[in-house]
Structures are given as C-alpha cells and as structure tokens.
Structure 1
Amino acid sequence: MGAGYKIIVEDIITESAKDEISTWTFSETTTGLFMVLGIYLLVVVKLLPAYMERRQPYKLTNVLIVYNGFQVAYSVYLVFIYARYLFNFGIITTRCPKGEALQEVITEIYPYFIAKHLDLLDTVFFVLRKKDNQISFLHLYHHSAMVSWTWLHLLHHPTDHFVCVGLLNSFVHVLMYAYYGLAALGPEYAKFVWWKKHLTKVQLVQFILVVSHLYYQQKLTPCPIPAFFHYFCMTSIITFFFLFMNFYCRSYRSRRTKKNICEQKDDVTVKSE
C-alpha cells in the first residue's frame, strides 16, 4: 500500500514538473524592461538628436523601402500564425495550455515580441530624417507601452490570452507599413496613399475591438491572467484610444475647418470683385 502510494505521488510530481514552464519573476522582467526602454528613450530623445543637431537630415530612401517592405511581410506572417491559432481554438481561447502546449504558444509569442522591438526603429528613422513632429508623446508612449506588454506577456506570464490582440494589431501594421513604404517611394506615389487619414480610423476601431476582446477573454476563460496585468493592458488600450482620437481631431478636423475658412474667404473675395 505504501509503495503503491509512493509511486502514484511520484508520478503526479513528475507530470506536474512536465507542465512547469520556467519564467522570469516580475522583478527580473521589469529590470530587463526598464533597461530596454531606458536605452531606447536615451537614444531617440537625447543622443541621436544631439548627433543630428548640426547635420542635414538623411533621406534613407532605400533603407526605408527595405525596412517597410520587411515589416509588411513580417506582419502578414504574424496575421497568418495568429489566424491559424484562432481557427483551431476559437476567438475566446479557453484551453489553458500547459507543458508542451504552452511551449508551442511561447514559440508563437516570440515573433510578436521581436516585432515590437523592431518597431522602435521607426523613431530612430524619424530622428535621422529630422521628422521631429512625428516624435510626439503619443509615439513614444505607444511604442514603450507595447514593448512593456510583450515583456510581461512572454517572459513573466506567457499565455494564449492575447492571440486575437496580436492578430488585430498585426493586421493594422500591414496597412500602416504599406503606407509608409509607398510614401518612401517619393511624391510621385502620393496618389496611392490617399487613404492615409483612414489609417487612424482603422486604429481606433482596432482599440475598441481589443478592449472588448480583453474584457470577455478575462471574464470567460477558466485561467484568467493576473489582475494587475489585465488592468495594465486595458488601461494602455483605452489611453491609446483617447490619444489617437485627439490626434485624429487635431490633424484632420482642424485641416477641414481651415479648408472651409479658406473657401469662405475665397468666396467673399470673388463676390467683392
């Protein structure tokens, strides 16, 4: 009886060990994250601007064409792998993967983790081209928050909780980098990027879908993520929505108002003549 009980306990311990995935502690994760973000912000806010202060902006045409082309292809790949996962396990995933299944999930998180770090090159290129108006609080906050999200997701609490989020975000990036790639080709291609202002609309819709999904995913899954992580993600996306909405209103509605004012002035001038 005792020997049999011992064997059963050992089997349970062995099976539990197989289900364990080694992750970083929260302290280790935040330490590594702060180092990455610290280097990023130091480079794009201090070091590179100081280097470019007395220099002419770089054109980087060929570099940008290659970079944006790669980003489009890479984002298409992410859309494919996450769409495949959702097709197999549903939009609201409830499988709670462990062991080998969780390791497979982690393998598919890595490409997204890499993508969010590659996106930081956007800021580097803006600085080198002296596109200072592009380096706004929204731009820096958005990149920093997404990198933070992926560090917590991959290194501290790996889960399939965010597959739908990765799909939506990667699809938007296909459109975004396609626009940047066409714009990098030169003014003669401007007629092909008439849909620029609609990108922000797509992003706003994306944020609404992501918040909705995060809410129901956390509510319906049998294995919810830690509350602090859930609220960090929700707060980030809601903040993105309002910042992007403010950007849209300032960028496009103000232009429309100025255009209407100019048309009214022209009309008054014609009548006076």
Structure 2
Amino acid sequence: MALFDDIRKMYIDGLKKADPRVENWPFMQSPVPIIIVFCVYVSMVFLCPKFVKKLPPMNLKLILVPYNFVLVALSVYMFVEFITVSLLANYSYQCQPVDYSEDYLAVRMAKVLWWFFFSKVIELIDTLFLMLRKNQVSFLHAYHHCTMILTYWMGVKFVAGGQAFFVPMLNTFVHIIMYTYYGLAVLGPHMQKYLWWKKYLTKLQLKQFQFAEQVALLISTEASVRES
C-alpha cells in the first residue's frame, strides 16, 4: 500500500510540473488516453495478422488515395507553420530554450507541436492498412510508431516549444515527400515510371530515423528533468 501511495504521489507531482498551457488540450489532461491508444495499437499489431490470415489482400485504393493526400496537406501546414513561427520568434536552430509564457508565438509553436503529436496518432492507421493489404509489418515500423506517440506526448505535455520543434520540422518535410509518393504509388502500376526517386526517399527516411531517435531521447530527458 505504501508503494502504491508513493507511485500515486510521484504521478500527481509529475503532472503538476507539466506545461499549464496544454492542460486542457485533447489527450493532454492525463497519460491515460495515449496509453489506451498505445495498448490498442500493440494489440492490433499482434492480433490483426491472425484475423486476416485467410483473407485475400484488400484493395484499399479508394481509402488510401485521400488518406495519403490529407496527410500531405497536414504535413505542408505543419512544416510551413514550424518555419514561420521559428523565424518570427527568432529561434536558434541549434539551442532554443522553451518559452512557457502565453506569448502569441510561444502558444502558436505549442499548438503546431500538438498537431504534430496528433499526426503521429493518425499515422498509426498506416500499420492497419499494411496488414489489410498483406504487406509485412517490420519490428522497426511498429517500434517507430510506438516511440513517436509516447515521446511526442511527453514533448507536448512538458516541453511544448524550444528545440523540440526542430525534428518535427524535418519530419514534416520528409512526410510531405513520403505521403506524396504513397499517394501516387497507390494509383496503380502505370505510375511507377514517375516514381524513380523512391531510392532517395528511402535514404532520406533512414537518416531521419537516426536523427529522430537521438532527439527523441533528448526530449525525454528534458521532460524527465522538468518532472523532477
């Protein structure tokens, strides 16, 4: 019972150190909603292949085309917003502290970071589409999605701004290209001759993953320091 009380106290004290500006935003009131999303996603990764094992690959073209181009539009919005706000606020692109004030630009940066976090929740559907189409879901794919939703939940909850904007800015740029490719590729084989640049996209994604994991660790460390 004493251990439970200590854990509960740590949990409450940790939430008190969260960014008060985001307290009432969707998913930000407590970690419970994102933990539920995480558990549902992991369950889907393990269970869905068993349900679709005897089914033929599904043709999801009517869903995938609008889905991919909606994510292109969302990525364009976020990338432009990251660039715009960081320039207007004279952000350093090497070491920028978090501004926890109610300043218009500071809140605007926090909001676009929330949208970036929420885009990671939306992108969990990528995995479902892969499994329904009988494409292999790698451990790296699932691990990346799991770490991103948890890391950027912490990022928005505790450090919504500062240097935390840089990797999302790069990621949204990559996703503009990536979801454009996916959207065109799903149109049919006749599009392949126009998609010769796929190998460059793959290299760009791998470089991004390496950099993102390093900065995700930095964000987690900053959030932990703010909790302590």
TM-score between both structures, scaled by the size of structure 2 = 0.75
1:106 maps to which of 110, 130, 143: 110
> 1:23–1:156: 8 Å Cα contact kept in structure 2?
no
Q: Taking every aligned residue pair, what percent have the same amino acid on both sides?
A: 32
1:129 maps to which of 129, 133, 157: 133
Q: Deviations over 1:187-246 (max 9, x none)?
A: 11111111112112112343566578x59xx7xxxxxx6736489xxxxxxxxxxxxxxx
Amino acid of the residue matched to residue 49 of structure 1? P
**Which of these two proteins has the greater Rg computed from alpha carbons?**
1
Amino acid of the residue matched to residue 45 of structure 2? V
How far did 1:104 drift? 3.1
* Structure with the largest fraction of helix: 1
Aligned with 1:169: secondary structure? Answer: helix
2:171 maps to which of 158, 169, 172: 169
Aligned with 1:98: secondary structure? Answer: coil
Q: CA RMSD in A?
A: 3.0
> Which residue of structure 2 aligns with residue 119 of structure 1?
123
Amino acid of the residue matched to residue 73 of structure 1? A
Higher normalized contact order (CA 8 Å, seq sep 6+, divided by chain length) = 2
1:198 maps to which of 197, 200, 207: 200
> Which residue of structure 2 aligns with residue 189 of structure 1?
191
Q: Deviations over 1:86-105 (max 9, x none)?
A: 21222246464223124333
Inter-CA distance 180–156: structure 2 relative to 1 (3 Å threshold): same
5+ residue gaps, structure 2, are: 1-18
Count of aligned positions: 199
Q: Distance in 2 between matches of 1:226 and 1:65?
A: 35
> 1:86–1:164: 8 Å Cα contact kept in structure 2?
no
Inter-CA distance 93–105: structure 2 relative to 1 (3 Å threshold): farther
> Which residue of structure 1 aligns with residue 64 of structure 2?
64
Q: Deviations over 1:10-43 (max 9, x none)?
A: xxxxxxxxx954649x9x43x4433211101112
5+ residue gaps, structure 1, are: 1-18, 219-224, 232-273
> Which residue of structure 2 aligns with residue 77 of structure 1?
77
- Quick check: 87-96 or 165-174, which moved more? 87-96
How far did 1:174 drift? 0.8
